[in-house]
Chains A and B, each alone.
Chain A
Amino acid sequence: MKRTPMYERHIAAGGRMVDFGGWELPVQYDATGIKTEHLAVRSKAGLFDVSHMGEITVKGPGAEKWLSRLVTNDIFVMKDFQVQYNIMCTEAGGVVDDLLVYRYGPEKFLLVVNAANVDKDWDWLRKHLPGDGVILENISMKTAETALQGPAAEAILARAADFDPSALRFFTFTDGVSVGGIPAIVSRTGYTGEDGFEIYVPWERGAELWDLILEAGKDAGLIPIGLGARDSLRFEAGLPLCGHEYTDILGPLEAGFGFFVKVDKPGGFIGQPVLKRQKEEGLRRKIVGLRLEDKGVPRAGMDVADPSGKMVGTVTSGGYCPSLDANMALCCVETPAPAEGESLSVVIRDRPKQGVVVKRPFYDRKYKK
């Protein structure tokens, strides 16, 4: 199994290590646990080791035009040093992966992709590479990454960095700065629904970065956060997870992320004809949010029924939301989908448990814009 540069730190801190897509990472830390870690990010700050994420650079005179064909959002309208959320689709309108696109300029981009999909994405990008004009490099194993998230994130980073993080706007980044003397790329992004930063440094300096940020944040209540809370935070904040809200067949419009799909952008993109047709003809299924009223915990893969008992879909993500103290689910259901306030049930161990359709996201995101 692969280990990040912070592996020894996780062991020393009582991290309960699990296999996550071939990476040995902590699901939680013994002294805290998922619920405490989750609430710490919402109220103070948390530090995540996300060095397993994939980083790929796209360079060359043809970079902008080529990349645009592979992603759903409009990268032509991006300003330099902006970050943009994107989805990479198949011809059939399903999803290869979702990713962040960092734009340096028309001839240089950095893509940040899901750890479990790095190889698949790399093959997909290579397969569509033109004869010349675009150079790809997979720098995943050269790049360590931490996410510093929570209301205290800005103050903590200000203590460690040689630049003023308050000047960094939401979904922008800076390169060539240093954090505690370590050369870094820093973006104001995250996967928790809180304000925060993602910090990329050379692989061999990952543990050093980890130590110095924890030190900078120790009086502000900063604690390390495992994968368990990473998932509960993103779920509560309405952020999709590839393999759950997106699959080979479940596309970005059905998942409710049409805002990031520009079906009429110049030059089109892979999957565009299918998504455009979905938009014009209407969706056959879509994801709705559900709060369980009966007792029980919905989990991904469980069946969803309407009040008459007819099966209408499945749970894509489900679980307990610590900030809401409620059991919630995202359900992919046939259209016409029920409106907010209407009922659906989740079949938990053969018993239908009643819930009410609620708006997404479940948690009001606290970004600093």
Chain B
Amino acid sequence: MAKIPQDLRYTKDHEWIRMEGATGVMGITDYAQHAMGDIVYVELPDEGREVRAGEDFIVVESVKGANDVFSPVSGTVAGVNGDLDGAPELLNEDPYTNWLVRLEVADPGELDSLLDAGAYAKLVEELEAESE
């Protein structure tokens, strides 16, 4: 059963985001890291890059293939998690502590349109039932 922390917002594409002041911290969910398998490389965006909600801007490479990661909201890349450089397996170990990108969020109101933990848990439950 995939871990789904209560205090985060989620996308249907299995990203999470949390606001810290005006900055959003985002990553991939436990369900996503499990589905991808052993992660071997993370291609992070340049700082200062502007992204729209739903735009692919990160690539997580696993032993199975390349996986696009989409921005949960619109904004500007304010920082990337350098710890993943050389230790991409951290994402398999704990995808919530090991965030991917910090975003200067253009409109924090956009988070309201994302799934809360309950709605995301329901989505994951459906997906897990399908794959059985």
Contact = CB atoms under 8 A, between A and B. Distances in A.
Interface of A: 16, 27-28, 33-36, 228, 232, 295-297, 299, 319-320, 322, 327, 349
Contacts of A327: 40-41
B41 A296 contact: yes
Interface in B50-88: 59, 61, 63-66, 85
B43 A34 contact: no
A297 B37 contact: no
A36 B92 CA distance: 13
Given A33-B37, A34-B37, A349 B43 contact: yes
Contact of A27 (B64, B66, B85): B64
Interface residues of B, number: 13
B59 A228 contact: no
B38 interface: yes
A353 to B, nearest CB: 10
A241 to B, nearest CB: 15
Given A33-B38, A35-B38, A228-B37, A297 B61 contact: yes
Contacts, number: 40
A349 B45 CA distance: 12
Contact of B63 (A16, A228, A295, A296): A228
Contacts of B63: 33-35, 228, 232, 319-320, 322
Nearest to B42: A295
A368 B112 CA distance: 63
Given A34-B37, A297-B66, A327-B41, 16 more contacts: A33-B37, A34-B38, A35-B38, A35-B63, A228-B37, A228-B64, A232-B63, A295-B85, A296-B43, A297-B40, A297-B61, A320-B40, A320-B61, A320-B63, A322-B63, A349-B43
